[in-house]
Amino acid sequence: YRGVVYWLMGQFEEAWPYLNESLAMTQTLGDEWGQVQSLGFMGMIAQAQGDHDRAYHYLSDSLARSR
């Protein structure tokens, strides 16, 4: 949740390490919903930073896993 808090505060660079850690943990645990959430937040941060290609990658992956 720390990554989400940093995202909400607009501190995007600080959020990345926590979201990457969250994604890695959810992958290890096989937690699909956790992966969907992590990837979604990563996509929103990339979009806020103006990196639309990266945002598209994360958000597309999040959407695919949510189905």
At 41-56, the pLDDT tens digits run 999 999 999 999 999 9
State the pLDDT at residue 36: 97
Which one, of 49, 58, 40, lies nearest residue 10 by Cα?
A: 49
Q: Are 22 and 48 in contact (CB under 8 A)?
A: no
- CATH code for the domain in which residue 62 is found: 1.25.40
Q: By residue range, what is the domain housing residue 16?
A: 2-66
Comparing CA positions, the residue from 18, 16, 15, 36 lying closest to residue 27 is: 36
Looking at residue 1, its pLDDT comes to 78
**Per residue in 6-26, pLDDT tens?**
999 999 999 999 999 999 999
Residue pair 15/23 in contact by the 8 Å Cβ criterion = no
Looking at the structure of the chain, the number of domains it has is 1
The upper half-sphere exposure of residue 2, i.e. CA atoms within 13 Å in the direction of its Cβ, equals: 9
